[in-house]
Amino acid sequence: MKWLLSVLLTCVVSLAHAEQVQSFGRYQLHFNTFESAFLTPEIAQQYGLTRSKGQGLLNIAVTTQADGEVPQSQPAIVSGHIKNLMGQIIQLSFQTIDEGDAVYYLAPFRKTDDEILKFHIEAKTSADAEPMTVDFQRHFYVD
């Protein structure tokens, strides 16, 4: 069943905003957003997530990859917030999804129609590591 979430998240990426990756030395920080309604009812229930067109999910993963090798998932300390165009800041609460060979961090957030949200994400591979910081924005629509 765990591999199902990986497959689902991969499919969701093609339906939603394309996954983006930013490199920080030997680490890569992967990030994407998608509508929580794309989750199957079973996956949403398993992970305690709400399925709704008005709720998005931010997906974060950290990997390492040596030349010619398959990327390896890395555990991380992930934090972040969203800022709307009115300047309101909403702290994100991340849930760890640990599938053994892959670790993801999901944070739900509310979205409204025709809304632009600015994301600020920090991920660290240990408490004393330098943070990997990513800032990006998304324009959301609710059907």
8 has pLDDT over 50: no
Residues 6+ apart with CB under 8 A from 4: 42, 43
Report the distance separating Cα 121 and Cα 98, nearest Å.
19
Q: What is the mean pLDDT of residues 99-116?
A: 93
Using pLDDT thresholds of 50, 70 and 90, give the confidence band for residue 22. very high
Q: What are the domain boundaries of the chain?
A: 2-140
User: Residue 37 has what DSSP assignment?
Assistant: G
> For 21, phi and psi rounded to 5 degrees?
-135, 135
CA distance 131 to 39: 30
Q: What is the DSSP letter of 26?
A: T
pLDDT at 14 over 80: no
Q: Report the alpha-carbon distance of residue 45 to residue 32 in Å, rounded.
A: 21
120: β partners: 81, 135
Is the confidence at residue 1, as pLDDT, over 50?
Answer: no
Whose tokens are 């060979």? That residue is 101
Domain 2-140 has CATH 1.10.220.10: no
In this structure, the strands spanning 89-91 and 95-98 are unpaired
Task: Please report the pLDDT score of residue 5 as a whole number.
Answer: 52
Q: pLDDT digits over 27-69, tens only?
A: 999 999 999 999 999 999 999 999 999 999 999 999 997 777 7
